[in-house]
Amino acid sequence: MQKEDAALGEDNVFNDDVIIELAKSKPNGISNIDIKNEIPDVLPEIWTKSINKLLKSGTLELFKDKGTLLYKYKDPSTKTEVKGSDNEEKVVYKIIEEAGNKGIWIRDIRFKSNLNMTQLNKVLKSLETKKYIKAVKSVAASKKKVYMLYNLEPDSSVTGGAWYQDQDFESEFVDVLNQQCYRFLEGKRDAAIKLGGGPLMCRNRSYVTATDVHKFISELGISKVQLSVDDIESILYTVVLDNKAERTVNPNGEYLYRAINPFLKSPGIVRTTCGICPIVERCGDAGLINPKSCKYLTEWLND
Amino acid sequence: MSLQHRNVINLILLERFGKVIADVGDIIFQNPSSLYNIVKSADIRISKVKEALSVLIKYNLVTFKLNVDSSAAIYMLNLKNVLLMLRFPKFINLIKTKFDETYEVLVEEILLKGCVTASELIIKVAKRLQEQKTVNILLQELKDNFNSLVTAKYVTRLSTQVTKAEELYLLPNLDLKQILTVLNGENETLSDAGIYWTINSDRFHQDLRDQLIVNSVSNKFDDNMGELIRLLLQQMYVRTDPWVSSSNPIPILEVKDIVKKRNTHPQLATFFEQYVNILEQDATGIIRKVGEASGGSFQVEIKHIFTQLTWEAVEEIVNEKFDSKASRIFRLVKLRHYIEPEQIQNLVMIPAKEVKRILYMLLEENFLVVNELKRSATSLGPSKSFTLFHIRLSQVVRTMLELCYKTLYNIMTRRCHEKYLNKRLIDKKHRVDTITHGMRVQGISGDSVLDIEEMITPPENEILERIGKMMKKLSLTELEIDETLFLLEMYLKYE
Ligand code: SF4
């Protein structure tokens, strides 16, 4: 993965400039289609990355015009200019700007600006109506808002990334991916066993990297959003936490995953109703809940 | 010692020995007492109490010592041994699979009697097996087998204050001629009178422990790996005391030679080094390389194995008792040792609210503990303290033990209750069986036997069948719960 990263890095540098030049040449903004036409030989994954980076740094601004997204070049010298604002607004704007696309919450703005709450609220309102800044709900804590510059795309730590849709965590999506990732690991292991050879070969053949799994998941087409290799890495870790896989590091510092079996079949105690009974604390000899008439036990006995 | 524990103990005694003994047992469970005190608190006649105590002592369920001013004996209940009775079927089965039927019957008789002299035991067993073999051969065989049980330490001298350590496995002096005369119904004092034998549960546990390890390793890897660990354990005994937490170094070539010679696992023989390598490199850390000389030598980390198995069992219990999300969180806390709730959510990929609910639930049921850390006063920031979640395995194990006791008690209670509900029918069936059996012995067959058998109507037969199934299921479950208990006990033993 390191090698790949390095390759991506080079492309990034190259592309950033290309895109800045493109944007400069069209003061009214460039669309995705424009970019594709101008640099057809560069993969979209690569140039969207640098677009995102430029948006984050404020070099590009995002606009919507008749339903198409346009990127506009923003001269760095005018970047921090807040027209028609008083000093307080400038200070607050600066603070918010520094926070980048991770945003900053109101308490911290207050600390840094030394304004009192009423003042600060007024300033924020004003900046918001002028569309210099916006408030974004953070997934980290419900009801907590963070402020950032109006044209920024919030960081995935704020939106939650691929796993969130409007602040709601998509559990089912994660579950499906968890299952599919395990299925892939399992398939790898079974194939390795079938191929035979010594146990060492068998074990080594059943290792996969997140990139392998990423490819498999992308080809499955079950995800409506674009998942990154890191996203898959996160999912794979949940498979590890489910004790269905193990994770090791190869000499390149890359994580390797492999399906594993448990030591034990389910322990005897959980094969009874009492071992998993939710009301076991209230179950006794006297009283309504007791083993003699317990209907969980009756059902289990008649199974 | 909890209420659950006390309940189970009481029920076991009640089922096996009846009410008086269970009552006496209960009194000394709460408080080791003198005979006088037992009589006073039990409100049972002194002769009955004496009788009860002597039975309990005979089965090694009660021990006694002199009180401080040496004026009276104080009786104590041996809780471990009471619970052990649930495990007897497993002991018998173990001997049966390892040796043969005569051994099995020998062990079974000792367990039934609690303790017994060797001659009496042989007489008893000979009576049971008489029909199969000529008496002389049988007696010789029984003597030999008994001796090998002692040599292998499955059976031991019942020790008293005056028994010396070297006497524990000293073979008794058996006079087969004498035994034969007694077997033929004559009276004679036997040569080994007064020397009692009982089973050595430690030795059985050692076998059960090894079995558990081999099975677990086979489950996780494959049968070849299971065989490897079995042989490692076998070679371990050559140099190592059976209950130490990690074995002395075992030269791996020794094991390799055995694999080659036995030739039962060709795959293991071909890829021997690879298997050793895999086991050694595995994250579970079952064996550890300690020397390079002559192919390397390895330690078996028995204590470590049981810690791993216990973790897995506990995780599985969390999984079943709550759900897979809970066990995921539980495992994360285990891996990180100490972790803040905010970190958990991102790594387990479960919605924040759900994580909070699960954490609270696990906390409530003692699977997790919380450590509050105060942040130093100088640091700024919104929160003044932070919360760390943590697992104390030994505490969880104790919670699990309680759960096992309670479950055992419930299952046993239900079994007794079902029996009680259908007592009349079960008794009737018994009577019919006895009568028809008697008739068959007398050579009566045909219609008259059928007539008697038909006293049990088809619907009654159906009920009986249902009850039979139920009893089987319940008894089997008791054994399975005991398996969990065994694992937890092993963990505590090595702790
Ligand atoms: S007897 Fe019934 S209520 Fe009581 S613990 Fe068992 S399953 Fe739960």
Query: Which element (helix H / strand E) includes A70?
Result: strand A68-73
**Cβ atoms of B371 and B387 closer than 8 Å:** yes
Model pLDDT, residue A147:
85
Whether residues B402 and B489 share a domain: the answer is: yes
Whether residues B18 and B66 share a domain: the answer is: yes
The protein residue whose alpha carbon is closest to atom 7 in ligand 1 is A274
Judge whether B291 lies within some domain: yes
Name B391's Cβ contacts closer than 8 Å, sequence gap at least 6.
Answer: B330, B333, B334, B367, B368, B369
Domains and CATH numbers, chain A: 16-78 (1.10.10.10), 84-160 (1.10.10.10), 171-259 (1.10.10.10), 268-302 (no CATH)
Q: Which spans in B291-442 are helix H? A: 302-321, 324-336, 341-348, 352-364, 393-421, 423-441
Q: What is the mean pLDDT of residues B364-372?
A: 86
Phi, psi at A250, each rounded to 5°: -90, 170
Q: Which residues of A touch B407 (CB under 8 A)?
A: 269, 272, 274-275
Using most ligand atoms within 8 A of CB, pick from A270, A285, A295, A297 the residue to mutate for ligand 1: A297
**Cβ atoms of B147 and B171 closer than 8 Å:** yes
Which of A110, A263, A283, A290 is the mutation pick for testing B, counting most B CBs within 10 A? A263
Q: What is the mean pLDDT of residues A30-35?
A: 81
Judge whether B88 lies within some domain: no
pLDDT at residue A11 is higher than 50: no
* Residue numbers of the domain that contains B311: 306-375+384-391
Atom of ligand 1 nearest to the CA of A279: 8
Domain boundary among B300, B329, B350: B300
Judge whether B92 lies within some domain: no
Q: How far is the CA of B25 from the centre of ligand 1 (A)?
A: 26
B396: tokens are 């969880």
Residue A270 contacts B, CB cutoff 8 Å: yes
State how beta strands A255-259 and A104-105 pair: unpaired
Q: What is the mean pLDDT of residues B7-15?
A: 88
Pick from B410, B473, B487: CB nearest A274: B410
Q: 3-state DSSP call for residue B372?
A: strand
A243: tokens are 């004790």
**Cβ atoms of B345 and A301 closer than 8 Å:** no
pLDDT at residue B189 is higher than 50: yes
B218: tokens are 């086979």
B59: tokens are 């089965």
Whether residues B487 and B406 share a domain: the answer is: yes
Cα B202 to Cα B210: distance, rounded to the nearest angstrom: 12
Whether residues B334 and B368 share a domain: the answer is: yes
Instruction: State how far residue A108 is from chain B, nearest Cα, in angstroms.
Output: 9
State how beta strands A60-65 and A68-73 pair: antiparallel
Confidence of residue A12 (pLDDT cuts 50, 70, 90): very low
Give the sheet arrangement for strand B196-199, strand by strand: B116-117, B196-199, B155-157
Domain boundary among B330, B360, B391: B391
Judge whether B90 lies within some domain: no
Model pLDDT, residue A15:
63
Model pLDDT, residue B246:
81
Domain boundary among B25, B43, B78: B78
Q: How far is the CA of B406 from the centre of ligand 1 (A)?
A: 9
Q: Which residues of A touch B400 (CB under 8 A)?
A: 269
Model pLDDT, residue A9:
43
Name A95's Cβ contacts closer than 8 Å, sequence gap at least 6.
Answer: A104, A109, A112, A113
pLDDT at residue A85 is higher than 70: no
Name B263's Cβ contacts closer than 8 Å, sequence gap at least 6.
Answer: B269
Whether residues B461 and B479 share a domain: the answer is: yes
- The whole-chain average pLDDT of chain B stands at 84
Q: What is the mean pLDDT of residues A123-127?
A: 86
The protein residue whose alpha carbon is closest to atom 4 in ligand 1 is A283
Judge whether B254 lies within some domain: yes
Whether residues B327 and B404 share a domain: the answer is: no
Share of chain A above pLDDT 70, in %: 84
pLDDT at residue B28 is higher than 80: yes
The protein residue whose alpha carbon is closest to atom 6 in ligand 1 is A274
**Cβ atoms of A173 and A163 closer than 8 Å:** yes
Whether residues B342 and B426 share a domain: the answer is: no
Share of chain B above pLDDT 90, in %: 6
Cross-strand partners of A64: A69
Q: What is the CATH number of the domain that holds B31?
A: 1.10.10.10
Model pLDDT, residue A83:
55
Model pLDDT, residue A7:
41
B470: tokens are 């139920």
Model pLDDT, residue A128:
84
Model pLDDT, residue B383:
55
Whether residues B434 and B458 share a domain: the answer is: yes
Residue A291 contacts B, CB cutoff 8 Å: yes
Q: What is the pLDDT of residues A188-213, one digit of tens each?
A: 888 888 887 788 888 888 888 888 88
ipTM: 0.80
Model pLDDT, residue A165:
65
Between A160 and B396, name the one with better pLDDT: B396
CB distance B216–A263 less than 8 Å?
yes
Q: Which residues of A touch B382 (CB under 8 A)?
A: 107
State how beta strands B73-77 and B62-66 pair: antiparallel
Model pLDDT, residue B332:
92
Judge whether B338 lies within some domain: yes
Model pLDDT, residue A142:
59
Between B408 and B141, name the one with better pLDDT: B408
Q: Which residues of B touch A241 (CB under 8 A)?
A: 328, 331-332, 335, 347-348
Distances (CA, A) of B138 to B125, B134, B176, B192: 10, 6, 11, 19
Judge whether B190 lies within some domain: yes
Which of A241, A261, A299 is the mutation pick for testing B, counting most B CBs within 10 A? A241
Model pLDDT, residue A1:
39
Whether residues B153 and B68 share a domain: the answer is: no
pLDDT at residue B397 is higher than 90: yes
Whether residues B175 and B262 share a domain: the answer is: no
Among A48-62, A240-254, B60-74, B323-337, the minimum mean pLDDT is found in A48-62
Whether residues B20 and B72 share a domain: the answer is: yes
pLDDT at residue A2 is higher than 50: no
Judge whether B435 lies within some domain: yes
Instruction: State how far residue B272 is from chain A, nearest Cα, in angstroms.
Output: 10
Report pTM: 0.76
Whether residues B190 and B213 share a domain: the answer is: no
Q: How many domains does chain B have?
A: 5
Model pLDDT, residue A143:
63
Cα B291 to Cα B135: distance, rounded to the nearest angstrom: 55
Q: Which residues of A touch B403 (CB under 8 A)?
A: 269, 274-275, 280
Confidence of residue A10 (pLDDT cuts 50, 70, 90): very low
Q: How would DSSP label each residue in A223-235?
A: -SSPPPHHHHHHH
Confidence of residue B378 (pLDDT cuts 50, 70, 90): low
Pick from B312, B332, B410: CB nearest A264: B312
Q: At what angle do helices B118-129 and B176-183 cross, to 10 degrees?
A: 50
Distance of CA B267 to the CA centre of its chain: 34
pLDDT at residue B1 is higher than 60: no
Q: How far is the CA of B474 from the centre of ligand 1 (A)?
A: 14
Q: What is the pLDDT of residues A159-182, one digit of tens each?
A: 666 677 666 677 777 788 888 888
